[in-house]
Amino acid sequence: MPPVPPGPAAPAPEGHAAHGHPAPGSAPQGWPTAPPAVPAYAGAGGGHEWGAAYQPPAGSSGRGKGGLVAGVLVAALVAGGLGGGIGYWAAERNDNSVDSTTVSASDTPADLKREPGTVASIAQKALPSVVTIDAQSGGGEGGTGTGFVYDREGHILTNNHVVASAAEGGQVSATFSNGKKYDAEVLGRAQGYDVAVLKLKKAEGLKSLSLGDSEKVAVGDSTIAIGAPFGLSNTVTTGIISAKNRPVTSSDGSSNKNSYMSALQTDASINPGNSGGPLLDARGAVIGINSAIKPAESGSGLGGGQGGSIGLGFAIPINQAKNVADQLIKSGKAVYPMIGASVSVEERSDGGAQVSDQGAGGAGEPVTPGGPADKAGIEPGDVITKLNDRIIDSGPTLISEIWTHKPGEKVKLTYERDGKEHTVDVTLGSKGED
């Protein structure tokens, strides 16, 4: 996959990254480094961190082995071994978004019936299928996240960053709203997609949540989020879909790899601990996995200094998550689509994603010989402006769009060369996760 340039909407973040980021014009080899924790638009030494909605344990800074260190920007970073990049700020809160409402949903009496279609009715039906996940690393560090029953075989769908610290020699458990607690194993996880599947041990009588169609979601649709914000299990919040196709990237803090998505944006209140939980539509069907937020000013309230929700939450569309989950259940691994070209990380004032004149890390070919882009005739210097009918205004947008497809799918790329526009068909290649 190509590296990602910052988009034209704002200056690229400066070099005060949590884990560093490539210098403008470079394209590091392998998975990209973690994005900056403090975007440049906030000014030097100010602003807010972007962070995944994951709650480290009490007394933890969240920056240890078991905590989450994530700079989440509304952008996508390229992964898959063909380059990296830096993110940029490109999200403005939708003017017609409404305030979220928190609904008390814990220990709802079983005999209390609500009218079908109400938030209370949907929550009452969905809560028994949502779990609070406790993930502990081999060293005893960890945190709290959320997941939900994917099928009756005991598979739980969640975020990779929720269980990453416990994936190697750690312990994972899942607690249902009725208090039943089960040990679980990490069946498979996909760092790049930020999706993981757990398998519960000795669990019976499970009821899975119905899955919706995230392609049919529209801005303004009602949303319901369920999770464990700041460890408060079985919390239900409501809002709307504020935007679609937001390129978002985050890191689990345990490696220099990043995940990214073409996200659903919602103003339903999402906080640390909500990660991995379901985002439901007005029918109670899952349309996304709550994964990242832009938190409020940190240093006050619950969470030991972590900032809370300001109405900017992001969820992995369920259509993409389902595709990844099915791969993980089948083989324990996921594959990633690629075009086999390296895209410059330099900012372009006129938008588009420009193919680099050098390969990843300054070595190799910018267009992989015999790869999808090469077969389609794409050359260094070409500026990709459209994928199918979607306008590409930056490298992050291009990558997030590519990752909504599957290897082997044919997409139509529009690019400019020497002032002339060309359109070609590209059959996406594939790459396993390192």
DSSP state of 344: -
Q: Describe the chain by its helix, strand, coil percentages, rounded to 5.
A: 15, 30, 55
The pLDDT score that the predictor gives to residue 255 is 63
| DSSP helix/strand/coil, 318 | helix
The pLDDT score that the predictor gives to residue 309 is 83
Q: Assign 308 a pLDDT band (cuts: 50, 70, 90).
A: confident
DSSP state of 128: G
pLDDT for residue 165 is more than 50:
yes
Place of tokens 């990296």: 84
pLDDT for residue 43 is more than 70:
no
Q: Assign 111 a pLDDT band (cuts: 50, 70, 90).
A: low
In this prediction, residues 335-343 reach a mean pLDDT of 90
Hey, what amino acid is at 46?
Answer: G
Distance CA 132, CA 280 (A): 17
Beta-strand pair 181-190/195-200? antiparallel
Q: Assign 133 a pLDDT band (cuts: 50, 70, 90).
A: very high
| Catalytic sites, residue numbers | 161, 194, 275
pLDDT digits (tens, 9 = 90+) for 398-407: 888 898 999 9
Dihedral (CA of 200, 53, 215, 124) sign: positive
Domains contained in the chain, CATH given: 30-333 (2.40.10.120), 335-432 (2.30.42.10)
